[in-house]
Chain A
Amino acid sequence: MNALARLDSHLKSRLEDLSKAKEHGHKIIGYAAGGFLPEELVLACGAIPLCFIQAGDNAVLRNSAAYVCRWFDPFWRSQVGYLTSGKDPYYNIVDLIVVPITDNHVRAFSNAVGFYTPEMRSFVFGVPHVKDKVALEYYRKGIGRLRKELEDFTGAEITGSRLKQSIELCNRERELFRNISLMRKRRNVNVSGRDFVALHHGSFLADKEIMIDILEQFIKEADDDDPLFSGNAPRILFTGSTLARGDSKVMDILSDNGGIIVMEEFAEGIRPYRNMVQVEGDLIARLAEAYFMDRICPGWFRPGTERLDFLIELAEEYRASGVIWYQLLYRESYKVESYFFPGILRKRAGIPMLVLESEYDAMETGPMKTRIETFMETIRG
C-alpha cells in the first residue's frame, strides 16, 4: 500500500481509534486552525490533538446562517456550521476545544463555541499581530495558561522531559514536511500539490507517530518515482488565507490546465513546518519563539513587509512562474494586501499574480476556470 493509501486507510478508521482511545482515558483536544496551537503541549499530557480543517461545502454555510452573520469568512462560518449541526464527526468526539484567536473571524467561532455549545469545555487565548518583545511575552503567557488548562483537564503534569519528547516528535514531522517541500524545488517535480496538501490535511487528524511513518514512506516513494511534471509546466506559488480539507477546486482546475503547484502558503490548511522548536532551556519560551516569533504568518502581521518579502523569496527560491492568491470572501486582511501585491510582485520578481475569491459557492467554479485558464496562457506567453 503506498503512503497516501495508508493515510487514507488510517483516516477511515480514525474516529473508531479515537473512540477507543477515549475509552482508555485519553482526552481528545480539538483546536481551531491557524498554526498557533503548539500540539506539543497536548501530546505532552497524553492527550490527542485534532485540528478542525474541514470546509468547502456550501450546505454547511447555510447551516451556520442561524448562528453567525453572513459577513464573516466562510471557513470560520463553516466551523460554526459544523459545530452546531454535528456534520463533522470530529466535533462530536472532542473533549475540549482550544481557540487561539488571531482575528474577528476566529473570535466569532470561539463565541459560537461558548454560546451555542455551553456543555463543551473550551479555552481561548489571544495571538497578537505585532512581532515585538511585548507581543512575544503575551503569546508565551497565553500558551503558559494553555499548559495549565491542559494539566488541570487531563490530570497529567507536563514535565520538562515529556515536553521535550513531544517537541522532538513534532520536529520530526516538520522536518519531513520540509524535506518533501524541498523536493519540489527540482526542475522536474515529482510531488504534486494535491498530494502535499493531502498529507498536511491528514496530519491534522492522524496519529502523530503513524503520520511520521507515512511521511517517511512518501519520501522514499517520491524519490523512486519518475517525475510527475515536465520542466516546462507553469510553476505556481499558491497562497492565501485558507486551504480547507474539502476545498480542492483551485488545485483541480489548475492541474487540468497543466499547471503545477510548487509551494503552498496558507494560514489555515498548511501546517507551519519551516522552523524547528529548540529543545534547550525554557521549553515554553522556545515554543513561543518558534510558533509566534520565527514563523512568518500568512495572516499579514505587522510589519507587513516581512510577509511580502517572504512571498517574493519563496517565489524566487521555488522558481515560480506565477502566484495564485486564493482568498475567502470577507477575510479583509488578505483582500487589502491583494490590491497592491501584484504590482510589487511584478516589479520585484517579474511574475504575474491572479487573485481568486471564494465563498464555497458552486457558481464560482466557471468564472474561476476562465481566470485560471487565461492566467496559464498569460504565463506561457
Chain B
Amino acid sequence: MLVAGVDVGAATAKTVILGDGRILGHAVNPVGYDIKSAADETSREALRKAGLSPSTKNFDYVVSTGYARESIEFADKTVSEIICHARGVHYLIPSARFIIDMGGQDSKAIEIGEEGNIVDFVMNDKCAAGTGRFLEVMAHILHVASMDAMGPLALGSKEPCPISSTCTVFAETEVVVLRARGKDRKDLIAGVHKAVASRVAVMAANLACRPVAVFTGGVAKNAGVKKYLEEEFKTEFLVPEEPQITGALGAALIAQAQLLRK
C-alpha cells in the first residue's frame, strides 16, 4: 500500500510517501510559476528518494493540501492544510496540544486534542505580516542572504529595535528609516523577528497555548522567530526535524486512512 500527501503552499511544494504505515520518503521544492509541475516533480523526487519508480501512477491514494490543493490532478482527495498539519504533528509528537505553523503566505495557530482532532484554530487575514513573506522582504532590505540566515543574527542582538508597523510595506519603510539612523543591523533583525512573533501571538490570543507546543512551516527553521515566539507565548516550542513537511505528512496519513476504509 503506497500513499502520498502533497502539500502545495505559496513558496514550496512538499510530498511525503507512506508505505505500510512508515515514512518511505519525502521531498521539498520551491513552487516556481508552474504549480502542477512543482507538485509532480516533488512527488517523483520523493519516490526516487524512497527507492521507488518515479511515477505518480504508483500511488494507491493521494491527498493534496495547501492553497493550490485543487490543482493537483493526480490527487484523489483534497483536505484543508489546517487539518493536515494537526494530523502530521500528532503523528510525530502525540503529546502536542498547540501548533504554530508559519508558511510563506499565511500563518495558523491550532489547538489540538488528544486524538489529533482540531479543538480551535485561527488563520491570518489578508496580510503578509506574521508570515515568511514578511521575513523575506526584510532579509532583502537588510542585505541578508536568506530568511533562515537572519535567525542566527537575531540571536546575537542584546537590544532588539522595536518595529511598530504591523503592515509589511510600512514596516519596510520603518526599517529603512531606522537603518538610516545608524541602528545596529543585528538589533534591527532581532526587532523584525520580534515583530513577527508578536503579530502571531496577537492573532492566537484567544486560543489556549497548552504544552506541548510545536512550531512548524518553513519559518520554523528560523531560530530567531522560535526564540521570540517562546518569549511571547511563555512556553517552549518543539520544532520537528523537518518542520516543512507536517502538512504533507498529515495528508499522507489521511490518504492511508481513506485507503484502509475502502
Contact = CB atoms under 8 A, between A and B. Distances in A.
B118 A370 contact: no
B83 A377 contact: yes
Contacts of B83: 373-374, 377
A369 interface: yes
B170 interface: no
A367 B123 CA distance: 9
Interface in A325-381: 339, 342-343, 352, 357, 361, 363-364, 366-367, 369-371, 373-374, 377-378, 381
Given A377-B83, A377-B118, A378-B118, A370 B206 contact: no
Contact of A378 (B79, B81, B119, B126): B119
A339 B202 CA distance: 12
Given A342-B206, A357-B125, A364-B126, A369 B80 contact: yes
Interface in B114-149: 117-121, 123, 125-126
Contacts of A367: 67, 106, 123, 126
A343 B117 contact: no
Given A367-B106, A370-B82, A343 B120 contact: no
A378 B120 CA distance: 7
B120 A370 contact: no
B58 to A, nearest CB: 28
Q: Would you call the interface of chain A mostly helix, strand, loop, or mixed?
A: helix
A343 B118 contact: no
B81 A370 contact: yes
Nearest to A343: B206
Q: Which residue, of A342, A352, A374, A378, has the highest number of chain B Cβ atoms within 10 A?
A: A374
A305 B86 CA distance: 35
Interface in B76-125: 79-83, 106, 117-121, 123, 125
Contact of A373 (B80, B117, B125): B80
Q: How large is the interface on B (under 10, 10 to 19, 20 to 34, 35 or more residues)?
A: 10 to 19
B121 A374 contact: yes
A374 B67 contact: no
Contact of B123 (A352, A370, A381): A370
A378 B106 contact: no
Interface in B184-225: 206
B190 to A, nearest CB: 30
B123 A371 contact: yes
Contacts of A357: 125
Contacts of A370: 67, 80-82, 123
Nearest to B85: A374
Contact of B120 (A352, A363, A366, A381): A352
A258 B143 CA distance: 49
Contacts of A364: 126
A366 B67 contact: yes
A374 B118 contact: yes
A342 B67 CA distance: 26
Contacts of B106: 367
Nearest to B81: A370
Contacts of A371: 80, 82, 123
Given A366-B67, A381-B117, A374 B82 contact: yes
Contacts of B123: 367, 370-371
Nearest to A363: B126
Nearest to A372: B80
Most chain B CB atoms below 10 A, which of A363, A369, A370, A371: A370
A41 to B, nearest CB: 41
Nearest to A369: B80
B37 to A, nearest CB: 20
A373 B79 contact: yes
A367 B126 CA distance: 9
A381 B119 CA distance: 8
Contacts of A352: 120
A374 B125 contact: no
A371 B81 CA distance: 9
A361 B82 CA distance: 22
A364 B125 CA distance: 9
B80 A374 contact: yes
Contacts of B126: 361, 363-364, 367
Nearest to A370: B80
B216 to A, nearest CB: 16
A190 B71 CA distance: 34
Contacts of A373: 79-80, 83
A366 B82 CA distance: 13
Nearest to A377: B83
Output the residue of B121, B125, B206 with the most chain A CB within 10 A: B121
Interface string A100-128: 00000000000000000000000000000
A378 B82 CA distance: 11
A338 to B, nearest CB: 11
A142 B121 CA distance: 45
Contacts of B67: 366-367, 370
Contacts of A339: 206
A133 to B, nearest CB: 38
A133 B125 CA distance: 41
Contacts of B82: 370-371, 374
Interface string A207-229: 00000000000000000000000
Which 6 A-B residue pairs are closest in the complex by CB-CB distance? Answer: A373-B80, A374-B82, A370-B80, A374-B80, A378-B118, A377-B83
Given A367-B123, A371-B123, A373-B79, 10 more contacts: A352-B120, A357-B125, A361-B126, A363-B126, A364-B126, A369-B80, A370-B67, A370-B123, A374-B82, A378-B121
27 contacts: A342-B206, A343-B206, A352-B120, A357-B125, A361-B126, A363-B126, A366-B67, A367-B67, A367-B106, A367-B126, A369-B80, A370-B80, A370-B81, A370-B123, A371-B80, A371-B82, A371-B123, A373-B79, A373-B80, A374-B80, A374-B82, A377-B83, A377-B117, A377-B118, A378-B117, A378-B118, A378-B121
